[in-house]
């Protein structure tokens, strides 16, 4: 699976958009980009995933660059409850469905 690179931590003001970048420059054509988050040692929570098109759901938007070498997770109106570690993972659906987690980004939402 492709390796991902994320900033160690980011700050965001409450009510503002949080934009979390992820670099996956070695991604291959059959690998999806997944985002999960982990709030204070709870089990990771699924946020969104995509292959090449931008995706949006009730939680977030995922913007994938045209060359698929990077992506950005957007939380449109961050709240204090969005403070968590955010993991960007790339996975080939044929690779026995395994997830390999990187170090993630600690997002601190501040009042």
Residues that bind another protein (CB under 8 A): 34, 41-46, 49, 87, 93, 96-104
Say which residues have a Cβ less than 8 Å from residue 17's Cβ, sequence separation at least 6: 74, 75, 76, 77, 78
CB of 88 to another protein, least distance (A): 12
Asked if 42 and 71 count as a contact pair (C-beta separation under 8 A), the reply is no
CB of 46 to another protein, least distance (A): 6
Positions of E strands within 1-111: 9-13, 18-23, 31-38, 45-50, 55-56, 61-64, 70-75, 84-92, 105-110
Report the residue number, 25 or 45, with the smaller CB distance to another protein.
45
Report the residue number, 29 or 43, with the smaller CB distance to another protein.
43
CB of 20 to another protein, least distance (A): 15
Report the residue number, 28 or 93, with the smaller CB distance to another protein.
93
């Amino acid at each position: 699976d492709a390796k991902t690179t994320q900033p160690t931590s980011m700050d965001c003001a409450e009510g503002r958009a949080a934009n979390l970048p992820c670099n996956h420059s070695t991604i291959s054509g059959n690998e999806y980009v997944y985002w999960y988050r982990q709030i204070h040692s709870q089990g990771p929570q699924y946020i969104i995933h995509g292959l090449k098109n931008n995706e949006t759901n009730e939680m977030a938007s995922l913007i994938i660059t045209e060359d698929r070498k990077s992506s950005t997770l957007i939380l449109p109106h961050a709240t204090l409850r969005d403070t968590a570690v955010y993991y960007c993972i790339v996975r080939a659906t044929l690779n026995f469905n395994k997830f390999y987690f990187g170090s993630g980004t600690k997002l601190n939402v501040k009042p």
